[in-house]
Structure 1
């Protein structure tokens, strides 16, 4: 497994060079390093808000009277209240509740928006002993891969990234982690042990997830476009039960520039919910590619394509999901296309805000599920 990780990491680092060599003379802003922690005791309040209006153009649905209607709704998908603080130069903390909609029909609050704890962790800053930006965390915290990736992608307010939207893992979990920042902003290594059940669920067994993300920025100290290249490998090793494998391996290459950012990620997942001899082991895989060209006046575009094979076994698919009796599981694919235009308002201090209109379409190969198409308007405020 370690050899496979290293080979994928090296391949991504080399592959990322190909589309950018021709642009090597373009000037870009030098990569920013990590800011040393402030030693002054302080508590700060911030917030993040995602709101949207979505109109599903197809397929239609039916209301309580059996009328055919087009589903549409206003919604709030994120409402963080960020409480962060510095206790000393060594210690800091974060407490963040988030909004979620109660979907259980057994609850009297079914359909209501509720607050639940998303982040709650203590952080030990290790800058006095390691490169600036190194730390250790304990508690409910961002998982190593998604938090890092969303900082590059920037369009989480439109929807989740591929690996989360496909249901393979979430953005936060309870555990302990350590991040080592490499000197001169050449990358970082983030290692953690987590419950593995995500932040919104309690631990259910004695198994723990080992997550490792290793990122390299090979041209961090160079001026020019090559500075924006990063290559990442992420491994999530967990078990449903003893000898019941649940692993995810992700390879990623990203590029950042003043006028263009983009990324590619490939996922390989293995799931064996039981250790019984007759238990089924599934292996899913897929990829996502995205690009965000931008102007100097705040306008940006987002183009993204996801391709997912939930189970690549060459056995017949269940009759309820297959269009015919000869359909195999590895021929069933899920595809998503996202295209949108956004306007990012000029920065006002630490406040960032954006408005976006977009199309989000899903198409299914050799699956009886109907295609889903929607258009929407999304808003972001972060301070």
Structure 2
């Protein structure tokens, strides 16, 4: 019996010991589970306590993996709860800020509404366009001579004042700062006109504008909105001396077929943005903006531009411009101009090719001694490419090229070789919008009979360039390196 008791006692003690051990392992398992719930699941499999529980037989590997799975799920729930609380707090802050901003905006609007803008300032725009030029090179002189050129020059000094009186009635006044031969700075009138904006005539004659006063002529303003480098020098027709860019009279212009949708995006420009083209016609005194009228003739000037494929090649345009009138002399010599231009505009490049012929010129001095106007002929090719080079976050650099050829006596009535060839090339860097600078080179080669001392000059010439008295002038070297900055706002 004692042995039986001893055996029984031993069994009881063994069970009690295992029970205590199981209880201890259960406690350890609970501690481990709580630990697993607080750590990332990826680290739980490496926990030594979990490995001990598996080794002691308290947890099977499958149970350990279930513990990991439950811990991971609980962790995700906890993270979602935290994210929800964070988002709720963020939204609360955003709502509070929005409420404060709305309150401030309403106060600003109320104060703005209380401020009355003077009637004279409503619809008023004021801006400046100026060219600051530095040139280094040589100016041609007779008999293969030349003078050195090292000069700062103010090529333009516009003060643009524009006023909208009503939606259909506008006014523009633009004086131009210029320097005369004595070196004195003077304010010369460039534009001063009233602009009427009549309603469309059907769907084809649209966006019409009529200028009365000292206003734009049909051609040059159009060309200068395709070739942006007027700052470098005048366009080919003006450089040759055929005409200048403004005159006193009346004109009307408009689009054909409404506006080209997204013209700026498709062509790089929203000027003269008619869907099928544009047109302009006017009657003027004929003397230009810086010469008095010397006869009673009123030249008619006109331009028609067609955009034949607005949906497929929106940048392609074909233009014709003409003038019919008399030169600005008392004896009123013929002044007739024919010009054709093919142009293509794209946000990344511009190409133009033009040819022109004129009988006489605006000044009326391209004539024989008997006052019969001479026929002239010329052409000009221009290109501009935006370079794929990023500077300060934008593609600012452009490379441009232009060549002109002009013959002042096409039929060789008085001068066998009164011609020139001009080359212009350079780089442009856009600083901000239309504020940019160019670095370029210009070279001109003259025929032996081209009769204008000092050549074509920066702004062209209106002087006699073909005459028996200047044949054999043999102008010397005409070239310059040039840096120009354009101010525009």
Does the TM-score normalized on the shorter chain lie above 0.5? yes
Are the counterparts in 2 of residues 304 and 338 from structure 1 also a CA contact under 8 Å? yes
Q: Which residue of 1 aligns with 2:238?
A: 164
Matched, 1:359 2:359: no
Q: Which residue of 1 aligns with 2:335?
A: 246
Are the counterparts in 2 of residues 340 and 358 from structure 1 also a CA contact under 8 Å? yes
Whole-Å Cα distance in 1 between the matches of residues 232 and 438 of structure 2? 8
Are the counterparts in 2 of residues 60 and 71 from structure 1 also a CA contact under 8 Å? no
Change (3 A) 1:183 1:59: closer
Q: Which has the higher strand share?
A: 1
Matched, 1:182 2:256: yes
Matched, 1:375 2:473: no
Which digits, 9 at most, give the CA deviation of each residue in 1:242-291, with x for residues without a partner? Answer: 77311111111111011110111111010295999944331111000010
1:57 CA displacement: 4.6
Unaligned 5+ segments in structure 1 are 1-39, 62-67, 104-109, 318-328
Q: Aligned-residue CA RMSD in angstroms?
A: 2.4
Whole-Å Cα distance in 2 between the matches of residues 312 and 171 of structure 1? 24
Counterpart mapping for 1:251-266 below 5 A: 251-266=340-355
* Partner SS state of residue 163, structure 1: helix
Q: Which residue of 2 aligns with 1:24?
A: none
Whole-Å Cα distance in 2 between the matches of residues 285 and 158 of structure 1? 23
Aligned counterpart in structure 1 of residue 183 of structure 2, from 101, 107, 111? 111
Whole-Å Cα distance in 1 between the matches of residues 419 and 147 of structure 2? 28
Matched, 1:219 2:309: yes
Whole-Å Cα distance in 1 between the matches of residues 373 and 206 of structure 2? 43
State the TM-score, normalizing by the size of structure 2.
0.60
State the TM-score, normalizing by the size of structure 1.
0.77
Whole-Å Cα distance in 2 between the matches of residues 279 and 168 of structure 1? 16
Matched, 1:235 2:322: yes
1:295 CA displacement: 2.4
Are the counterparts in 2 of residues 123 and 137 from structure 1 also a CA contact under 8 Å? yes
Matched, 1:289 2:381: yes
Q: Which residue of 2 aligns with 1:124?
A: 196
Q: Which residue of 2 aligns with 1:300?
A: 398
Whole-Å Cα distance in 2 between the matches of residues 118 and 258 of structure 1? 30
Task: With a CA cutoff of 8 Å and minimum separation of 6, indicate the structure with the bigger relative contact order.
Answer: 1
Counterpart mapping for 1:185-200 below 5 A: 185-200=275-290
1:50 CA displacement: 0.5
Which digits, 9 at most, give the CA deviation of each residue in 1:53-84, with x for residues without a partner? Answer: 000156699xxxxxx97321011110110000
* Partner SS state of residue 129, structure 2: strand
Counterpart mapping for 1:1-383 below 5 A: 41-57=122-138, 70-103=148-181, 110-127=182-199, 129=201, 131-184=205-258, 185-220=275-310, 222-223=311-312, 226-240=313-327, 244-271=333-360, 278-296=370-388, 297-315=395-413, 317=415, 329=416, 331-347=417-433, 352-367=434-449, 368-383=474-489
Whole-Å Cα distance in 2 between the matches of residues 270 and 381 of structure 1? 37
Q: Which residue of 2 aligns with 1:11?
A: none
Whole-Å Cα distance in 2 between the matches of residues 95 and 289 of structure 1? 33
Which digits, 9 at most, give the CA deviation of each residue in 1:198-222, with x for residues without a partner? Answer: 01112221101100100111122x1
Whole-Å Cα distance in 2 between the matches of residues 284 and 69 of structure 1? 28
Are the counterparts in 1 of residues 374 and 413 from structure 2 also a CA contact under 8 Å? no
Unaligned 5+ segments in structure 2 are 1-120, 259-274, 389-394, 450-473
Number of aligned residues: 313
